[in-house]
Amino acid sequence: MALEDIRTRIAAAETRAGRDAGSVELIAISKVQPLERVEAVLGQGHRVFGENRVQEAAGKWPAFQERFDDISLHLVGPLQSNKARQAMGLFDVIHSLDRPKLATALARLADELGHCPKLFIQVNTGEEPQKAGILPPDADGFIAECRGLGLPIEGLMCIPPIEEEPSLHFALLAKIAGRNGLSGLSMGMSADFESAIALGATHVRVGSAIFGARTPA
Ligand SMILES: *Cc1c(COP(=O)(O)O)cnc(C)c1O
């Protein structure tokens, strides 16, 4: 079955890269998928899931969390500041910290609530105008700014341009993380998670290869 197949391929990629077994976390991206498919993957014992919209996650996950223990929920899509409070209640990890205004909002909420999800800073490695993320030349400064705010920065995340060789982007992200002493690398999706693992991914975000093609909402 698809989940087993992806786990096997992750394990093989870890071995090829000389990395410890189990060092890569598989985030099953369940956005837009029918609930039966998500439930089937929960039934197979998987507990780490990702969504790209706060609203959609809020409508879907509380009911699953009633029925299944130890679910870990990751936000991988853009976060508006006015949804930050809701997102902090819902998600264990946020992969889309992409601008100073959001960093300030999260820091203020973390103070107020006494907790904060783990955070990945999204880097726009392809410098694409339509894509969210900190530009590579601004990354070191933004990481320092977030640390200054006391935010729990786990690592960096990227979504490479579709028409380019993803390895170049994975390598760039790993380089920025390395020089800033960050160990987390959220990179690699259905089509390219093995090359991401070869370049140091600690978190891969795999949707359609697990659940099947997404039908538009
Ligand atoms: C949808 C999505 C994924 C998963 O994409 P697949 O190609 O279906 O594996 C990964 N990361 C982000 C940010 C996404 O929005």
pLDDT in tens, 38-67: 999 999 999 999 999 999 999 999 999 999
DSSP H helices in 68-165:
84-90, 100-113, 136-148
* DSSP letter, residue 150: T
Q: Is 27 in the pocket of ligand 1 (CB under 6 A)?
A: no
Give the integer Cα–Cα distance in Å for 158 and 97: 11
Domain of 104, in residue numbers: 2-211
Give domain status of residue 141, yes or no: yes
Q: Is 46 in the pocket of ligand 1 (CB under 6 A)?
A: no
The amino acid at 8:
T
Q: Binning pLDDT at 50, 70 and 90, where does residue 147 land?
A: very high
Give the integer Cα–Cα distance in Å for 48 and 72: 5
Q: What is the pLDDT of residue 215?
A: 76
Cα-to-chain-centroid distance, residue 179: 21
Give domain status of residue 195, yes or no: yes
CATH of the domain at 27: 3.20.20.10
What is the share, in percent, of the chain residues with pLDDT greater than 90? 98
Average pLDDT, the chain: 97
Query: Which region holds residue 200: left if phi is over 0, alpha if psi is between -120 and 50, else beta?
Result: left
Cα(111) to ligand 1 centroid in Å equals 31
Q: Is the pLDDT of residue 217 over 60?
A: no
Contact 3, 26 (CB under 8 A): no
Give domain status of residue 217, yes or no: no
Q: Is 76 in the pocket of ligand 1 (CB under 6 A)?
A: yes
pLDDT in tens, 126-135: 999 999 999 9
Domain count, the chain: 1
Give the integer Cα–Cα distance in Å for 25 and 81: 27
Which of 193, 205, 211 best tests ligand 1's pocket when mutated (most atoms within 8 Å of CB)? 205
Q: Ligand 1, residue 214: give the atom nearest the CA.
A: 8
Cα(203) to ligand 1 centroid in Å equals 12
pLDDT in tens, 159-194: 999 999 999 999 999 999 999 999 999 999 999 999
Give domain status of residue 155, yes or no: yes
pLDDT in tens, 64-101: 999 999 999 999 999 999 999 999 999 999 999 999 99
Give domain status of residue 216, yes or no: no
* DSSP letter, residue 188: -
Tabulate helix, strand, coil % of the chain (nearest 5). Answer: 45, 15, 35
Give the integer Cα–Cα distance in Å for 178 and 134: 16
Cα(189) to ligand 1 centroid in Å equals 6
- How many CB atoms are closer than 10 A to CB 214? 14
Q: What is the pLDDT of residue 8?
A: 98
Give the integer Cα–Cα distance in Å for 71 and 162: 30
SS3 155: strand
Q: What is the pLDDT of residue 166?
A: 98
